[in-house]
Amino acid sequence: MATGVPTGKGFEYFVVVDVFRSSSTIIAALMNGARAIIPYSSVGEAVKASRAVENRSEVILVGERNGITPRDFNCNISPLDMTADRIGGKTILYSSTNLTRILSRLGAPSRIIIGGINNAKAVAEYLKTRCDEVMLVACGTAKGPTIEDFAGVGAIVDCLASEELTDDALIALGLYRNPYWRYLVGRGRIAERVRSLGYERDIDFCLSSDISSVVPGLIKNRIIDLNPRGAAASQ
């Protein structure tokens, strides 16, 4: 088991972790009835795709660039905005600063899951019966690693209870098992950025352990729930 920068080769599954806030937003959307999430690496591609849809009411644009809602988008990537009345039955066209960047690097043949603190146990249980080799990808940012993504990786590693861990995975596990991990994550630069943008309430949601059994998986170009029990859990 590894954690780090994806290569696209040598692993059966990749678990991409972006705690603030893509992982939690995607989990919340699938919990609350979104049909699917289609990721786009650029804002322009997402807007173009939305304009090509015949029935515009069937899709919703969700995204951010450096935390700011892009022009023509319906909402930011706040998990608390992924309510049933807003996204239920719709397909989400999604573009974010970090998660969609990482997804574009992994490539179509990869088996990709979106993991976080909210669904760590569900992701681990899903993987235990399906693979021996998995790379856990702490998204971080273009400026480097982020403490919350390492904590998210650590939460999943803790549930997997594997004896074959890389040093990076052990570091992530050690962070998550620290009783003060939430406090430390709250001091991180991304937590501070989220607060400055007015999304402080998202932080508590993103750091809530195992509130969902949703296992978001990228199938072709669509993220759907791979766990049929997920949508009904933790409502």
User: pLDDT tens-digit profile of 101-149?
Assistant: 899 888 665 799 999 999 999 999 999 888 778 899 999 998 999 999 9
Domain-located, residue 145: yes
Count of the separate structural domains present in the chain: 1
Q: Where are the alpha helices (DSSP H) in the chain?
A: 24-31, 43-51, 84-87, 99-106, 120-128, 147-160, 167-177, 181-186, 189-196, 200-206
Domain-located, residue 17: yes
Domain-located, residue 187: yes
Domain-located, residue 230: no
Q: Supply the mean pLDDT for the chain.
A: 90
* pLDDT in the model for residue 5: 39
Domain of 133 in residue numbering reads as: 2-218
> In CATH, what number is assigned to the domain containing residue 169?
3.90.1560.10
State how beta strands 36-39 and 91-95 pair. Answer: parallel
Domain-located, residue 64: yes
Domain-located, residue 229: no
Please give the Cα distance from 152 to 138 (Å, whole number). Answer: 8
Domain-located, residue 225: no
Main-chain phi, psi angles of 63, to 5 degrees: 175, 180
Domain-located, residue 234: no
DSSP label at residue 70? P
What number of other Cβ atoms are within 10 A of residue 52's Cβ? Answer: 9
Do residues 215 and 119 touch, judged by C-beta distance below 8 A? yes
Sign of the torsion formed by the C-alpha atoms of 113, 206, 3 and 221: positive
* pLDDT in the model for residue 226: 95
Neighbour order of strands in the sheet with 134-138: 2-3, 134-138, 13-17, 112-115, 216-219, 222-225, 36-39, 91-95, 59-63
3-state secondary structure of 10: coil
User: pLDDT tens-digit profile of 160-214?
Assistant: 977 788 899 999 999 999 999 999 999 999 999 999 999 999 999 999 999 999 9
Global pTM? 0.91
* pLDDT in the model for residue 8: 41
* pLDDT in the model for residue 229: 61
